[in-house]
């Protein structure tokens, strides 16, 4: 005559309350974009890459850039193998981006 409702699944109530995903739920959206984005360097990151203080002059920035470019130029490590050359190329990209950012901002 009278039907009693089934008791609620305690895990379902708990997971819904606290936002816990169950294996049957759809996967979360990807946090990373599909294609790589260009590297954006902030003011302090640029200073860190070049190893100059925050209030560095244009001359100090230029000297630090030349020193790092001399050390990390891919042609200097060409005989050490492809891994060393790839590392140097990536490092030079960071150095060039940091230098360009600081020059653009007038440091």
What's residue 4's pLDDT? Answer: 66
What's residue 66's pLDDT? Answer: 95
What's residue 105's pLDDT? Answer: 82
What's residue 37's pLDDT? Answer: 62
What's residue 92's pLDDT? Answer: 93
What's residue 82's pLDDT? Answer: 87
Q: What is the mean pLDDT of each run of 10 residues along the chain (107 residues)?
A: 66 73 64 62 79 90 94 87 89 93 83
Separation of alpha carbons 102 and 44, rounded Å: 10
What's residue 77's pLDDT? Answer: 84
Domains of the chain: 43-105 (1.10.287.110)
What's residue 5's pLDDT? Answer: 66
DSSP 51-100: T--TT--HHHHHHHHHHHHHHH-GGGGGGG-HHHHHHHHHHHHHHHHHHH
């Amino acid at each position: 005559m009278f039907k009693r409702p089934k008791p609620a699944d305690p895990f379902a109530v708990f997971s819904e309350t606290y936002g816990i995903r169950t294996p049957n739920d759809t996967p979360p959206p990807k946090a990373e974009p599909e294609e790589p984005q260009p590297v954006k360097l902030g003011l302090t990151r640029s200073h860190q890459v070049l190893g100059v203080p925050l209030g560095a002059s244009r001359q100090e920035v230029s000297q630090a850039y030349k020193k790092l470019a001399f050390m990390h130029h891919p042609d200097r490590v060409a005989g050490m193998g492809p891994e060393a050359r790839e590392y140097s190329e990536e490092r030079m990209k960071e150095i060039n981006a940091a230098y360009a950012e600081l020059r653009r901002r007038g440091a």
